[in-house]
Structure 1
Amino acid sequence: MKNFIQPGEHVTVPAPADVTSGALVMVGAIVGVAQHDAASGEDVVLVRRGVFTLPKTSAQAWTVGQKLYRDATTGAATTTASGNTIIGAAYAAAANPSDTGTVLLDGAVR
């Protein structure tokens, strides 16, 4: 195909703010995990699909397969849908309280 550019699982975008490697980042409707540190406006590679340990809303318990969202205020993974963007699902159960959870990013743009 002459029009194919790349698979799209790793994309390079301008960092919306200073980001650190491993952080959940959202640029418009594109969500992924930063592959490296980047200053605001610099190119950062986002990994859009895969299983990651990410910060979560501590006061929530997760069940395997539960839909997860990126909290618009904190940037953490949450089960709260209202006002937030879906990012994938819980890959493992997570306790309440706990600071991190295992997330399966699905790579869909919403």
Structure 2
Amino acid sequence: MARNFIQPGETITMTAPYAVTSGAGLLVGAVFAVALASAAQGAPVEARRVGVFDMTKAPGEAWVADTTKLYWDNTNKRVTSTATGNTLIGVARQSQASADTVGRVLLTGQIAA
């Protein structure tokens, strides 16, 4: 392995920008991740940048598995299919009905533009 390798980067320590609970999304600068533990605002928290998670979704949206691009709505702290004003985080991993309040999300680990 290269001598300059530090870590894989799928799980990183972040500073919670607001109080988060385990399993909640957080956006720190250009990096989105899911908190692996609860943390107070300003506290360090281990967070996962990639993987499949069940997350709170915006109401009234139907998602199609492996087709619907998903975004983080940092104002409402939920996942949405609305791109405008939100941060791309991944894709729907399971089709969801518009009445569903939770959706299965594949986080792809990209960095926000």
Contact 1:69 1:85 in 2 (8 A): yes
Q: Which residue of structure 1 lines up, in the alignment, with residue 28 of structure 2?
A: 27
Distance 2:84 2:78 in 1: 14
Q: Which residue of structure 1 lines up, in the alignment, with residue 111 of structure 2?
A: 109
Query: Which structure 2 segments of 5+ residues have no match?
Result: none
Q: Which amino acid aligns with 1:12?
A: T
| Alignment map for 1:6-85 (pairs within 5 Å) | 6-65=7-66, 66-85=68-87
Distance 2:6 2:44 in 1: 18
Query: Which structure 1 segments of 5+ residues have no match?
Result: none
Distance 1:80 1:29 in 2: 18
What stretches of structure 1 move > 4 A for 4+ residues in a row?
none
TM superposition shift of 1:108: 1.1
Distance 1:11 1:51 in 2: 16
Q: Which moved more, 1:72-81 or 1:46-55?
A: 72-81
Listed one character per residue, the Cα deviations across residues 38-93 of structure 1 (whole Å, up to 9, x for unaligned) are 11111001101000000000110000121000013112110000010000000000
Q: Which residue of structure 2 lines up, in the alignment, with residue 95 of structure 1?
A: 97
Distance 2:23 2:6 in 1: 25
Q: Which amino acid aligns with 2:8?
A: P
Tell me the TM-score normalized by structure 1. 0.97
TM superposition shift of 1:2: 2.3
Tell me the C-alpha RMSD between the 2 structures: 0.8
Tell me the TM-score normalized by structure 2. 0.94
